[in-house]
Structure 1
Amino acid sequence: MTRVLRLSVNDRVELFNGAGGLVEGSIQRVDKTGLDIIALDDPKVISPLGMQWHVFAAFGSLKGGRADWLIEKCTELGARSVTPLLTERSHTIGENRVERLQRVILAAVKQCQRLHEMTLNPPVNFCNFLPIVAQSKLSFLAAAEATPLLSILPNSNTEDSGLLIVGPEGDFTDEEVKMIKEAGATPVGLGPCRLRVETATITLLATLMLWSDAQNLGAQQSQ
């Protein structure tokens, strides 16, 4: 705050805890060891706004910082959670990597000023994932040569959450795709080019975030 934003004594700031807690404060003291802030009002708890999107992506085998990038951008775009999906072609993710991804999330939450920190769930096996799909009323599966996403999105929506599903490098097996579709997911296309895991995830999430924001705005204007 003092070195990058050049804030000083008596400047006002907002403090948040990543769980919806928000309080306005004023800087009282600044020195080489840090700064003191006094709360100007009682803390408030803000509920999550808009539709909550939960990402299930098989990114355990990604290398070269690509998993970090996926997690960072999911946080910035507003995903409610990301769950590593363990499939036949992406069957592991190291514990040390999970710890690193938690640090990536925290940095992104601070940077984009999210009041609610994105949750990184423990990895889920494919067989345990299918009941989650079956329980969701709105879930989209990124699939090559499927109907374009924008052609499938409904004109109106009453759901408050949904699932995004992206397979590993090499994609899901034919049997896995069949099982996901039978569980209730809708296959959607993301353009004519075959996308990397992280690109497909962000393309799908960004499109659905914009769509759900438009849905939310339309609902507010009609009230």
Structure 2
Amino acid sequence: MMLLVAWYLQCLFLLVNKEFVVLVRRKQKLQESLHVMMVQLVFFALFFFAPLHIHACGGSTISIEGDEFWHMSKVLRLATDDRVELFDGKGGIVEGVVTATSRNSIHITAAGDVFHLSPVGPFWHVAAAFGSLKGGRGDWLIEKCTELGAKSVIPLLSKRSPSVSDGRNDRWNRVVTAATKQCQRLHSMVVRNPMDLSDILAEAGSYEAILLADACATSLGKGLPRVEVDWNGLLLIGPEGDFTEEEKEAIIKAGALPVGLGPRRLRVETAAIAMLSAVTLLGDSQCSTGT
């Protein structure tokens, strides 16, 4: 009887021990998976803007100061031997390794020569009357246009949106830099100085297509002309309350095609993002399929 009990306890111990080993292995695999995920997250975070230092060759030292230094050292707390990627916003990118830090700068040794990529079109320029938007809505428009690949954004001045607050362009450029790093685009979006509608229309000849957001027009999906890779297109989005009838007439006379964005009335920033998203997807589809 005692032997039977001992045998039973031994079997129970082995069973529990086996389950324990399985649990330990599962925990180890989970930890390994989490580690891989963290490495990937860190990799995507180590992408920094260095416009003045990008002309480096393999083995040269690049010193980073200012906002990027603060982000690297105080926020991410990079240390020696951490790997980073630096880009200049003009298509140049170089990989490097942190070799030293000081009170006001961080020093990176380039692992190779700078690699340059040319921009690929079509290129869409967004002219929207968003200068008077409040509550961060203008910042949101700039951020999303950057992420979606707009070539430039023009704060449009019209009769119902005649001005832009002082200092907004500086803030918008900081938003562009942050969004460019986040989405890892190599060519920075340009935020142009505010322009009157008449001045924008004076440049109409430099665009292969001009699309006007118009609630009463045919759907954009049906009205979009064939897009070519080397195109420059302009998207016009009016202010809250829309363009006046006189402004619409001038826009259409300049060669713009009115297009609809659906049955609902959209805010300025929503219309801009919806329009840019649609032309980007439709344009990419046309260019890739040749239709």
> 2:204 aligns to what?
133
> 2:160 aligns to what?
89
In the TM superposition, what is the alpha-carbon distance from 1:36 to its structure 2 partner? 3.1
> 1:211 aligns to what?
282
> 1:79 aligns to what?
150
Higher relative CO (CA 8 A, sep ≥ 6), structure 1 or 2?
1
Q: Percent identity?
A: 51
> 1:163 aligns to what?
234
Summarize deviations over 1:112-159 as a string: whole Å, max 9, x none.
112111101011112212122244221110001100000112355355
Contact 1:133–1:180 (CA<8 Å) still a contact in 2?
no
Q: Which residue identity is paired with 1:177? A: K
2:192 pairs with 1:121: yes
In the TM superposition, what is the alpha-carbon distance from 1:25 to its structure 2 partner? 1.5
Paired residue total = 220
The residue matched to 1:95 in structure 2 has which SS?
coil
Higher mean C-alpha deviation, range 128-137 or range 86-95: 128-137
2:107 pairs with 1:41: no
Summarize deviations over 1:38-87 as a string: whole Å, max 9, x none.
11111122211121111100111211111111111111111010011110
Distance 1:8 1:213, change over 3 A: farther
Summarize deviations over 1:165-212 as a string: whole Å, max 9, x none.
000000000110011001001000000001000000000001111122
Distance in 1 (CA, whole Å) between partners of 2:227 and 2:277 is: 18
Q: So what's the TM-score if we normalise by structure 2?
A: 0.69
User: What residue ranges of structure 1 are gaps of 5+ in the alignment?
Assistant: none
The residue matched to 2:249 in structure 1 has which SS?
helix
Contact 1:140–1:163 (CA<8 Å) still a contact in 2?
yes
For the pair shown, which has the larger CA radius of gyration, 1 or 2? Answer: 2
Distance 1:134 1:35, change over 3 A: closer
In the TM superposition, what is the alpha-carbon distance from 1:214 to its structure 2 partner? 2.2
